[in-house]
Amino acid sequence: MDEQYLDLAEHFLRIENPKRALEELDKINQFSHTYWYLRAWANYKLKNFQQAKEFLLKALEDNPDDLQILYLLTQSERQLGNLKSAEQHISKLIELYPEHASTRELYAIIMMKLNRHSAMKKAFAEAKRLRGESQNNLLNATTASMRGKLKEAIGSIEQALLDRPEDHLAHNLAAKYYQQNWQYGKALKHAIYALRLEPSEPSYQKHVRRLKVLNNPIHKPFAQIIYLNKSYRYMPVIILASIFTIIFLYGIFTNNSVISVTALSIAINIFISFVAYGFASFIIATIYQVIKKTSL
């Protein structure tokens, strides 16, 4: 009878109904490592990551080298922010299952979180090799972004999405690069898709909320002011700062304090106005987004 409940619980988990899965698991009398794993999986889907971790540790007692248990434990540690523990578990997985591509990809994600870019690139490249994919567009995009070549990064990530349209990591990176390029509409689209593919990822949820504010019509004009030309980031600000610096220095060298003080005063007022407008537009856009959400 317990086997029947385990099968039903797994079925409900696969159709994204973790609460019903837990109801089936509550009917079981004998606790095997499969029972603890399914209970952990259900809690993970419900975002109870600490509870999931505790159940997975119980599952490991009977089956310490299980691929699924260790993989979900790594994910749970990552969600809890325990990156060092996550690294230990995923390193063990790689030793046990060196030909498992998804394990390499998860290792790369953890390395990205730890800012170990060299290890991240190596892991992504190895995952691509194991999958038999000739061009590592995801790795190319990440590398181009680190070199400051945003257009190249966007091109590579778009190609990566053509190859793997259901890859939540690729959509998340696309959202990040489009946001850096001030294309908030496209960034929001990819951020929402990444969240849809991986709904339990807290960073995706935060990214969507922030992009909804940045993409708001109230806040958009602020973005356009400081980025009039997408080819030259912050160029209007740099030009204004340069002009007033030249005028200020001219006043000093010609002993004309009026020119110097006037130039400095105008520059400070523009800067304060600029910051105040940006802050105010962001606050108003946030309030607007909250009101819009609560009215739905």
Is residue 60 domain-resident?
Answer: yes
Is residue 209 domain-resident?
Answer: no
The closest alpha carbon to 174, from 161, 143, 102, 224, belongs to 161
Say whether both 186 and 226 belong to one domain.
no
Say whether both 225 and 276 belong to one domain.
yes
Q: Give the tens place of pLDDT for each residue, 132-186.
A: 654 567 777 777 777 778 888 888 888 888 877 888 888 988 998 888 887 888 8
Say whether both 194 and 223 belong to one domain.
no
User: According to the model, what pLDDT value does residue 277 have?
Assistant: 66
Is residue 25 domain-resident?
Answer: yes
Say whether both 243 and 288 belong to one domain.
yes
Say whether both 220 and 196 belong to one domain.
no
Say whether both 85 and 8 belong to one domain.
yes
Q: Say yes or no to pLDDT of 54 above 90.
A: yes
Is residue 120 domain-resident?
Answer: no
Mean per-residue pLDDT for 189-196? 90
Q: Give the tens place of pLDDT for each residue, 56-87.
A: 999 988 888 888 899 999 999 998 989 999 99
Tell me how crowded residue 295 is: count the other CB atoms within 10 A of its CB.
6
CATH number at residue 177: 1.25.40.10
Say whether both 89 and 55 belong to one domain.
yes
Say whether both 13 and 80 belong to one domain.
yes
Is residue 207 domain-resident?
Answer: no
Containing domain of residue 148, as a range? 135-202
Last residue of a domain, one of 45, 79, 97: 97
* HEC per residue, the chain: CHHHHHHHHHHHHHCCCHHHHHHHHCCCCCCCHHHHHHHHHHHHHCCCHHHHHHHHHHHHHHCCCCHHHHHHHHHHHHHCCCHHHHHHHHHHHHHHCCCCHHHHHHHHHHHHHCCCHHHHHHHHHHHHHHHCCCCCHHHHHHHHHHCCCHHHHHHHHHHHHHHCCCCHHHHHHHHHHHHHCCCHHHHHHHHHHHHHHCCCCHHHHHHHHHHHHHCCCCCHHHHHHHCCCCCCCCHHHHHHHHHHHHHHHHHHHCCCHHHHHHHHHHHHHHHHHHHHHHHHHHHHHHHHHHHHHHHC
Q: Give the tens place of pLDDT for each residue, 247-290.
A: 777 777 777 777 777 877 777 777 777 677 667 766 776 676 56
Last residue of a domain, one of 67, 97, 127: 97
How many domains is the chain built from? 3
